Every structure is written in structure tokens, then in C-alpha cells.
Amino acid sequence: MYNTRLDGLTEYPFQRLAALLAGIEPPPGVSPVIMSIGEPQHAPPDLLFKVLAQNPHDWGKYPPTSGSPDYRAAVAAWCARRYGLPSGFLDPDRHVLPVAGSREALFMAAQLCVPPQKNGRTPTVLMPNPFYQVYFGAAVMSGADPILVPAAKASGFLPNYAGVASGDLERCAMAYLCTPANPQGTVASLDLLKDAIRLARKHDFVLVSDECYSEIYADAPPAGALEACAVLGEGLSNVLVFNSLSKRSSVPGLRAGFVAGDAELIARFSKLRAHGGAVQPLPVMAAAAALWRDEDHVADNRRLYRAKTDDAAGIFGDSFGFYRPAGGFFLWLDVGDGESVAKALWREAGVKVLPGGYLARATSQGRDNPGRSYIRVALVHDRERTAEALTRMKQTLLGVARTSLPQ
Ligand SMILES: Cc1ncc(COP(=O)(O)O)c(C=O)c1O
């Protein structure tokens, strides 16, 4: 006996990739480089280890679901600084909860927000297509109908939720928005965020804004949904923002993040998490609070990503649809057939990348999978290793392009 909703999910992209590459070996003498997973390999800041060592007595305590007051205060202060929020706009006790990584909390958000029915029908959950795979799994496992909203090149790599069919909007319980977007690196403007919030309030659904790449950007700091709420001036209703230290501070293993927003939803989230949410150990929370309070290491981190993107621009120029992502650390390259290119890159260059089709779906309206012709390349290694891997990739891609040209 098991929950048959699970049958609505494909294997997770990394399992699919392992199956695709099974039996293929990288070339002998070449050091393999894994660029399929967005797992930052920059050195974590020293501050982390210093503060982690300061609270050994706290390992003997069960951490409270709502975290430590100090952690919530550090997060609220960071949000206020980063987004220029008016004083008191975000109350650490009413609007903020710690989460043990945003991934798990983004999944749980659907259990929080999706009712059994909305307006007498099965609820919908909107998400961009391509999308972070957790959104789809969360929607399906909560019993909602996932609605995939095009976020391909033609729509500027962002979804237009106002254009969703009115029947699907009326039964909408929740919409995921990812900015900067994984995989395309697009950043939603403040106006887009304001429109999305207005739409959520009009149709009474929850806007879940996934902002975990917010601190990795090319030029200007991306706007955020908390900022959009402040500008709209009507509080935080219908909005939940998720962020984490995984990318900002290069500590994906720390599992330290937060959710902030609508006070009623936060109170309900706290109740739900008390029953089954993962919590952060108190010594981890203390270290994480110190990291939210420090911006120096974040600026260093950003500089390194920018240098690597410069190198990538030098290597690719405008070939394979290369563009500089406005945010995040992925290249989203248009290579023709993502799966066969991923195989060629592993076999010939020893570089592992993710076929874009694994991050998107063909929709029931007969649209082709909008990620099919892409590969996603995570620039997560040090600068030298990244440049070397990209150079090897380019050689292979040129070879693939030559052999697939009409003879
Ligand atoms: C778009 C997006 N959201 C959320 C996450 C989750 O990150 P974490 O759980 O480390 O906070 C990731 C991780 O890769 C991601 O790409």
C-alpha cells in the first residue's frame, strides 16, 4: 500500500541523469567536473566555524520549531536592510520562521496552502515551466492540479500568471515564483512582483516567492516580494518568501533558511512544522544568524561568480545561445538536443551537465517540453576548474554542432 499520487511524478532529475549516463565513462586522463548540480563549492566563510564552535552546550537541546529569537531577529534585520523595508514592517515573532533548508519548506508549503477543494473544485498550483522540481512534487503530493505556465525564451523566461485561464485562477491555491529563476537566471522586476501579489490577493491564493539565488547577481540586487509588499502598502497577506544561506554563503550542507510573510500563514506553518517539520539545531542556528549579519563574505562570493561568468562569456561569446544570467549561477545553453549533448559532454569532455528537459515538462495543451533543447551548467567550482571545464565543453559542443549540420 502506498500513496498513488507518487505515480504522478517522474524520477528526480539527478536520478534520470544517472540513468542516462550509465555505462558512459569520461575520457581517460581527464579529471571529471560535475556541473549538473547547483551545489556551491566555494569555501564557506570562516565565521561559520568560529560561531559553530561557540555553543557546544546547545547540542543537548531539542531546537524549538520557531527557532531562536536571535535567529528570527537576524533574518528580519537582514530582510529590512536588503529590501529597504519600513521599520516594524517585518516582526521577527509574527512574520518569520526558520527552516532547515528552503527545499523542504517549499515542499511543505503546498501542504500548508492547498485546501481539499477551492470553489468546489480540485485546487490548482501554478508554477513556471521550466521549474525547480520540488514545486511539481509538492503540488502533486498535496492533491492539487499543477498548472505549468510557459517561462521559455518567448515569454522572457518568466511566467505570466495573469494570463492563466480564468477557471484555473479561480481554483488556484498557490503559485510558485522563482526569482532569480532556476534554471534561466531571469530576475522578476518589482512591477512583476507587485502584479503577482495583486493577482494573488484578487483570487485569494498564496504567492510563494522562492528567492534563494537573490544574492548572486550580475548588476543590481534583484527585487523581492517583501519589498513589493512594502511598496504596495497593504501588509503581507497572501505572500510567503523563502530564502536560504545555501547559495548566499556557499553552505548548502548547513540547511539554514527562512520563510517570511503573512502572519496568519506563518502561525499555521509553525503549527504544521511542529507536527512534522525538520528543525535546525541551535548551534547551527547561531552560526546561521551570524552569517545573515555579515555581508563581506557575500560580496566576495558574488565577485567570484561574476569573474566566472566573465570567463564563460569569453569562452562562449554568443554561441549556443549564451547570455549572462541576471541572477544565479547557471548557464542555460541552447544546444539542440539536451540529452544527447549531455551524453557527449560526459563521454568526450568529462563534464557532467543536466539536460534542460529534465527541468521542464511537455504540457497537456500539446506544447513541447520547453527545456528539451537546453543544458543547465552550474558554475559552482573554483574559477580555474570552471574555465577549464567550459573550454573542454566548447570543443565538444563545436564538434557536435559540426556533425549535426546537414551534409
Ligand atoms: C530554485 C531553488 N529553490 C530552492 C532550492 C533549495 O535550496 P536549499 O534547500 O539549499 O535552501 C534550490 C536548490 O538548489 C533551488 O535551486
Residues 156, 223, single domain; the answer is yes
Contact (CB, 8 A) for 115 and 123: yes
Find the 372 Cα to ligand 1 centroid distance in Å.
22
* Ligand 1 and 38: CB distance under 6 A: yes
Is residue 333 over pLDDT 80?
Answer: yes
* Ligand 1 and 332: CB distance under 6 A: no
Residue from 176, 244, 248, 358 to probe ligand 1 pocket by mutation (most atoms less than 8 Å from CB): 244
pLDDT score of 365: 65
Distances (CA, A) of 248 to 186, 251, 292, 301: 17, 8, 9, 8
Proportion of the chain above pLDDT 90, given as a percent:
94
* Ligand 1 and 250: CB distance under 6 A: no
Residues near 88 by Cβ (< 8 Å), separated by ≥ 6? none
* Ligand 1 and 67: CB distance under 6 A: no
| 407 pLDDT tier (thresholds 50, 70, 90) | very low
Q: Can you tell me the mean pLDDT for 16-45?
A: 95
Indicate which atom in ligand 1 lies nearest the CA of residue 106. Answer: 4
Q: Can you tell me the mean pLDDT for 329-348?
A: 97
Contact (CB, 8 A) for 108 and 100: no
Indicate whether 209 belongs to any domain.
yes
Residues 349-400 pLDDT 10s: 999 999 999 999 998 666 689 999 999 999 999 999 999 999 999 999 998 8
Rounded to two decimals, what is the model's pTM? 0.96
pLDDT score of 246: 97
* Ligand 1 and 210: CB distance under 6 A: yes
CATH number for 209:
3.40.640.10
Indicate whether 407 belongs to any domain.
no
Indicate whether 88 belongs to any domain.
yes
* Helix, strand, coil % in the chain, rounded to nearest 5: 45, 15, 40
Grid-cell match 534563494, residue found:
212
Domain boundary among the residues 253, 279, 294 is at: 294
Indicate whether 226 belongs to any domain.
yes
Indicate whether 204 belongs to any domain.
yes
* Ligand 1 and 252: CB distance under 6 A: yes
Beta pairing class for 33-34 and 206-210: unpaired
**How many CB atoms within 10 Å of residue 163?**
10
* Ligand 1 and 102: CB distance under 6 A: yes
Residues 316, 346, single domain; the answer is yes
Indicate whether 240 belongs to any domain.
yes
Residue from 208, 246, 248 to probe ligand 1 pocket by mutation (most atoms less than 8 Å from CB): 246
Residues 360, 314, single domain; the answer is yes
pLDDT score of 32: 97
Residues 57, 206, single domain; the answer is yes
Domain boundary among the residues 279, 294, 309 is at: 294
Rounded distance between C-alpha atoms, residue 361 and residue 22, angstroms: 23
Residues 190, 74, single domain; the answer is yes
3-state class (DSSP) for residue 334: strand
The boundaries of the domain holding residue 13 are 4-43+297-402
Contact (CB, 8 A) for 307 and 301: no
Residues 203, 310, single domain; the answer is no
Contact (CB, 8 A) for 183 and 141: no
Indicate whether 350 belongs to any domain.
yes
* Ligand 1 and 249: CB distance under 6 A: no
Residues 207, 97, single domain; the answer is yes
Indicate whether 239 belongs to any domain.
yes
In the chain, the number of structural domains is 2
CATH number for 331:
3.90.1150.10
Residues 344, 285, single domain; the answer is no
pLDDT score of 405: 56
User: Residue 377 is placed in which grid cell?
Assistant: 551548467
Angle ∠(96,97,103) on CA atoms, nearest 5 = 120
Residues 246, 390, single domain; the answer is no
Residues 268, 344, single domain; the answer is no
3-state class (DSSP) for residue 348: helix
Distances (CA, A) of 230 to 90, 243, 268: 10, 18, 22
Residues 212-254 pLDDT 10s: 999 999 999 999 999 999 999 999 999 999 999 999 999 999 9
Find the 219 Cα to ligand 1 centroid distance in Å.
22
Rounded distance between C-alpha atoms, residue 343 and residue 362, angstroms: 21
Find the 210 Cα to ligand 1 centroid distance in Å.
8
Q: Take atom 12 of ligand 1 and give the residue whose Cα is closest.
A: 103
pLDDT score of 402: 79
Residues 275, 138, single domain; the answer is yes
| 272 pLDDT tier (thresholds 50, 70, 90) | very high
* Ligand 1 and 101: CB distance under 6 A: yes
**How many CB atoms within 10 Å of residue 404?**
12
Rounded distance between C-alpha atoms, residue 186 and residue 180, angstroms: 5
| 1 pLDDT tier (thresholds 50, 70, 90) | confident
Find the 406 Cα to ligand 1 centroid distance in Å.
40
Q: Can you tell me the mean pLDDT for 41-62?
A: 94
Residue from 35, 103, 379 to probe ligand 1 pocket by mutation (most atoms less than 8 Å from CB): 103
Residues 127, 262, single domain; the answer is yes
pLDDT score of 49: 95
Domain boundary among the residues 254, 278, 294 is at: 294
pLDDT score of 185: 97
Indicate which atom in ligand 1 lies nearest the CA of residue 257. Answer: 11
